């Protein structure tokens, strides 16, 4: 019997599962669908069942399970509503403890899990503290200090996508407020600002109805003027916001992940340039890097929460 | 011989000293002038001498000294320049260790010391985490998590006065950049925005050449329209900035101190109103309060750093 730890990263469509050795080696990963019926009541039982079945087949001794949730979670593993899954307030940690019939269980916000994963085995592994910002459809974030997640009193630390970066915005963000970073620097946000700044003659103007963030970064790499201007605006918003984040927590590194980060060095260079243009002398010493674990960051972080402290689960 | 701990809060004009019992009782406080000559080289020797003299007179057994510095300090007690005192990079902790001939010495940024003081014995004593914002001539800040200061990698965590809150500012902040919170919500910043918003007929218009923050809050309390509008603008800037701070660290409480905070409930109400208007659902649960220790917060926090872990200093 091999002693293993499970990371379960619950998303709105699928639940990603990873089985890890104590040293962080990813032994196996798999996915199951997320069933949203009946207010998401099948999600945790499905997860537990899948883990137990696979453990029986593979002869794993599961010594801990960490669960990532796409919504605010307190340090004690209590979910404070999760609209994407239909969940109301309840203790995810306790429910999973019952389902798994074991004690070494934790629950954490999924963005925090991704940050912890990168900090443990990814781009942040050589830094004592880091901010992780995930640029996807929306923007997720997390603060990792001494290899531990900063949860916050309401489980909402690291929600940097909803920092206000503009006082004069008229459009409304998904959160119901105006001027959130997410409205400018997420995949959707970049397209939104592109529509303001693109000019006739630019290749993105020609393709404006099917525009996406990748097209804009690709255009900028080729020297398209509109695209360069849009990437500069994106860099100003994100770099300034990250400067503000640093005024609060001053971490050693800032790690940028999510689909948009695939743009690579042009993105890092622009964000870093604006960061330095906006930051105090004392905050100039900051390392920027691209995340390394991709979609696996969440399962790594979930597993890390329970590794090396576990009581064992046995049938 | 009574065992005591010393907090030494170094300012540009005076050094405030406090002698504390282990339980946090302030036994005695005094001040000495800050000598800025010769790149501030007399400051630490003067401090050590004053502590030793008083200890000999009072028959104190000094078991630790915490030093507050008006500039960035790392977790290890290294000062990263301090323009106000003429100091370059050096280990304040080590220098003071030599001068005091004892080991239980710490150095900390003065705003962080004030936050720790309030967290320990002041307005934050019932909260597990808090942000402290000090509204004086400038704006200081600190982040206290589980009764410990968050220093940051460069000793610059909590520098919330230099978060950028406006992209379109033309005036330059003391730090050399534009659009810092300090330009809108410090005592000087409030006067600066007042000059934009005050109208003829307002009592502050009549007194516009000798305007200060107190006059504006007093006017607002009496219902002066210009003053109400200025206080509202102040509240929007500070409330939104604190909402952004909460997106990063999500503490249980926010404590507001410094001279401007003497305006009292009108200030707290306005900042809290704007905070709630700008914050995510998950961040609505936040307590605002006014600092309680006034100018003593720094010496409390400095002493707290060294209390209850000390080797003794003896002549």
* Phi-psi region at B180: left, alpha or beta (left = phi > 0; alpha = psi -120 to 50): beta
Q: Is the separation of the CB atoms in B311 and B103 below 8 Å?
A: yes
Q: How far is CA B302 from CA A75, A258, B1, B190, B297, in A?
A: 29, 42, 22, 30, 9
Residue B71 pLDDT: 87
pLDDT tens-digit profile, chain A (315 residues): 899 999 999 999 999 999 999 999 999 999 999 999 999 999 999 999 999 999 999 999 999 999 999 988 888 999 988 888 999 999 999 999 999 999 999 999 999 999 999 999 999 999 999 999 999 988 999 999 998 999 999 989 999 999 999 988 999 998 899 999 999 999 999 999 999 888 777 777 777 788 999 999 999 999 999 999 999 999 999 999 999 999 999 999 999 999 999 999 999 999 999 999 999 988 999 999 999 999 999 999 999 999 966 433 333
- A interface test, pick of B126, B177, B182, B248 with most A CB neighbours within 10 Å: B248
The CA distance from B206 to the nearest CA of chain A, in Å, is: 31
- B interface test, pick of A88, A148, A248, A274 with most B CB neighbours within 10 Å: A248
Query: Which residues 134-153 of A have a C-beta within 8 angstroms of B?
Result: 143, 145, 150-153
Q: Which of A73, A63, A82, A20 lies closest to A297 in space, CA to CA? A: A20
Alpha-carbon distance of B190 to B274, in angstroms, equals 16
Collect all residues of chain A within an 8 Å Cβ-Cβ radius of residue B159.
247, 250, 280, 282-283
Residue B144 pLDDT: 97
Q: Is the separation of the CB atoms in B99 and B48 below 8 Å?
A: yes
Beta bridge partners of A17: A8, A30
Collect all residues of chain A within an 8 Å Cβ-Cβ radius of residue B286.
153
B220: three-class secondary structure by DSSP: helix
Q: Judge: B249–A150 Cβ closer than 8 Å, yes or no.
A: yes
Q: Does A30 touch chain B (CB under 8 A)?
A: no
Alpha-carbon distance of A177 to A169, in angstroms, equals 10
For B2-116+296-306, CATH number out of 3.30.420.40, 3.40.1800.10, 3.90.180.10, 3.90.700.10 equals: 3.30.420.40
Q: Judge: A280–B162 Cβ closer than 8 Å, yes or no.
A: yes
CATH number of A126-292: 3.30.420.40
Q: Judge: B159–A252 Cβ closer than 8 Å, yes or no.
A: no
Q: Judge: A159–B128 Cβ closer than 8 Å, yes or no.
A: no
Q: Judge: B177–A153 Cβ closer than 8 Å, yes or no.
A: no
The CA distance from B279 to the nearest CA of chain A, in Å, is: 8
Between B158, B279, B286, which is nearest A248 by CB? B158
Whether complex ipTM tops 0.95: no
Q: Judge: B157–A244 Cβ closer than 8 Å, yes or no.
A: no
pTM passes above 0.80: yes
Q: Is the separation of the CB atoms in A20 and A303 below 8 Å?
A: yes
DSSP code of residue B201: T
Q: Where in chain B is the domain with CATH 3.30.420.40?
A: 2-116+296-306, 126-292
For residue B72, what is the nearest residue in chain A, using CA coordinates? A282
* Phi-psi region at A192: left, alpha or beta (left = phi > 0; alpha = psi -120 to 50): alpha
Alpha-carbon distance of A55 to A52, in angstroms, equals 5
**How would you class B196 by CB atoms within 10 Å of its CB: exposed for 0-12, middle for 13-18, buried for 19 or more?**
exposed
**For B99-143, how does the pLDDT look when each residue is reduced to its tens digit (9 = 90+)?**
999 999 999 999 999 999 999 999 999 999 999 999 998 899 999
E strand or H helix at B215: helix B213-221
Q: How far is CA B203 from CA B83, B207, B218, B259, in A?
A: 38, 7, 10, 22
Nearest 5°: phi and psi at B212?
Answer: -140, 170
Pairing of strands A2-10, B26-33: unpaired
Collect all residues of chain B within an 8 Å Cβ-Cβ radius of residue A249.
143, 150, 152, 157, 248-249
E strand or H helix at B116: helix B110-121
HEC assignment per residue over A268-310: HHHHHHHHHHHCCHHHCCCEEEECCCHHHHHHHHHHHHHCCCC
Residue B313 pLDDT: 38
Alpha-carbon distance of A254 to A270, in angstroms, equals 14
Residue where the block lists tokens 């940050």: A115
The DSSP annotation for B236-272 comes to HHHHHHHHHHHHHH--SEEEEESGGGGGTHHHHHHHH
Q: How far is CA A200 from CA A204, A215, B221, B238, in A?
A: 9, 16, 54, 41
pLDDT tens-digit profile, chain B (315 residues): 899 999 999 999 999 999 999 999 999 999 999 999 999 999 999 999 999 999 999 999 999 999 999 988 888 999 988 888 999 999 999 999 999 999 999 999 999 999 999 999 999 999 999 999 999 988 999 999 998 999 999 989 999 999 999 988 999 998 899 999 999 999 999 999 999 888 777 777 777 788 999 999 999 999 999 999 999 999 999 999 999 999 999 999 999 999 999 999 999 999 999 999 999 988 999 999 999 999 999 999 999 999 966 433 333
Between B157, B164, B283, which is nearest A244 by CB? B164
Residue B309 pLDDT: 62
Q: Does A159 touch chain B (CB under 8 A)?
A: yes
Q: Which of A160, A154, A108, A104 lies closest to A132 in space, CA to CA? A: A160
Q: Which of B100, B22, B7, B68 lies closest to B314 in space, CA to CA? A: B100
Between B143, B150, B156, which is nearest A283 by CB? B156
Q: Judge: A283–B154 Cβ closer than 8 Å, yes or no.
A: yes
Residue B213 pLDDT: 95
Q: Judge: A278–B251 Cβ closer than 8 Å, yes or no.
A: no
Query: Which residues 219-248 of B have a C-beta within 8 angstroms of A?
Result: 236, 240, 243-248
**For B229-266, how does the pLDDT look when each residue is reduced to its tens digit (9 = 90+)?**
999 999 999 999 999 999 999 999 999 999 999 999 99
Q: Does A252 touch chain B (CB under 8 A)?
A: yes
* Phi-psi region at A147: left, alpha or beta (left = phi > 0; alpha = psi -120 to 50): left
Residue A258 pLDDT: 93
E strand or H helix at B93: helix B92-100
Residues 6+ apart with CB under 8 A from B66: B5, B6, B7, B8, B105, B106, B107, B108, B113, B301, B302, B303, B304, B305, B306
The CA distance from B197 to the nearest CA of chain A, in Å, is: 17
Give me the half-sphere count of Cα atoms (radius 13 Å) on the Cβ side of residue A116: 28
Q: How many CB pairs lie under 8 A apart between chains A and B? A: 133
Q: Is the separation of the CB atoms in A202 and A226 below 8 Å?
A: yes
Residue A190 pLDDT: 96
Alpha-carbon distance of A30 to B159, in angstroms, equals 44
Alpha-carbon distance of A142 to A157, in angstroms, equals 7
HEC assignment per residue over chain A: CEEEEEEEEECCCEEEEEEECCCCCEEEEEEEECCCHHHHCCHHHHHHHHHHHHHHHHCEEEEEEEEEECCCECCCCEECCEHHHCECCEEHHHHHHHHHCCCCEEEEEHHHHHHHHHHHHCCCCCCCEEEEEEECCCEEEEEEECCEECCCCCCCCCCHHHCECCCCCCCCCCCCCCCECHHHHCHHHHHHHHHHHCCCCCHHHHCHHHCCHHHHHHHHHCCCHHHHHHHHHHHHHHHHHHHHHHHHHCCCEEEEECHHHHHCHHHHHHHHHHHHHHCCHHHCCCEEEECCCHHHHHHHHHHHHHCCCCCCCCC
Query: Which residues 274-293 of B have a C-beta within 8 angstroms of A?
Result: 278-283, 285-286
Give me the half-sphere count of Cα atoms (radius 13 Å) on the Cβ side of residue B155: 25
**How would you class B225 by CB atoms within 10 Å of its CB: exposed for 0-12, middle for 13-18, buried for 19 or more?**
middle
Between B160, B163, B283, which is nearest A154 by CB? B283
B104: three-class secondary structure by DSSP: coil
Alpha-carbon distance of B143 to B272, in angstroms, equals 18
């Amino acid at each position: 019997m091999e002693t293993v730890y499970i990371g379960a990263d619950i998303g709105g469509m699928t639940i990603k599962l990873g089985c890890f050795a104590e040293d962080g080696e990813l032994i196996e990963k798999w996915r199951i669908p997320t069933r949203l019926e009946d207010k998401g009541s099948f999600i945790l039982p499905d997860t537990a069942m899948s883990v137990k079945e696979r453990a029986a087949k593979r002869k794993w001794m599961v010594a801990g399970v960490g669960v990532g949730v796409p919504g605010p979670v307190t340090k004690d593993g209590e979910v404070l509503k999760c609209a994407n899954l239909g969940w109301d307030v309840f203790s995810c940690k306790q429910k999973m403890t019952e389902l798994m019939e074991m004690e070494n269980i934790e629950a954490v916000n999924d963005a925090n899990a991704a940050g912890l994963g990168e900090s443990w085995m990814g781009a942040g592994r050589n830094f004592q503290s880091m901010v992780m910002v995930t640029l996807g459809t929306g923007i997720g974030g997390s603060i990792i200090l001494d290899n531990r997640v900063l949860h916050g009193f309401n489980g909402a630390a690291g929600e940097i996508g909803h920092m206000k970066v503009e006082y004069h915005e008229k459009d409304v963000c998904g959160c119901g407020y105006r001027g959130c970073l997410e409205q400018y620097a997420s995949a959707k946000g970049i397209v939104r600002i592109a529509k303001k700044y693109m000019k006739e003659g630019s290749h993105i103007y020609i393709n404006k109805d099917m525009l996406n963030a990748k097209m804009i970064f690709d255009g900028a790499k080729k020297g398209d003027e509109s695209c360069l201007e849009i990437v500069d605006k994106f860099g100003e918003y994100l770099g300034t916001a990250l400067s503000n984040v640093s005024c609060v927590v001053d971490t050693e590194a800032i790690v940028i992940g999510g689909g948009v980060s695939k743009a690579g060095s042009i993105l890092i260079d622009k964000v870093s340039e604006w960061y330095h243009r906006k930051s105090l002398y004392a905050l100039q010493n900051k390392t920027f890097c691209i995340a390394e674990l991709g979609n696996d960051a969440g399962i790594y972080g979930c597993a890390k929460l329970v590794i090396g402290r576990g009581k064992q689960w046995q049938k």
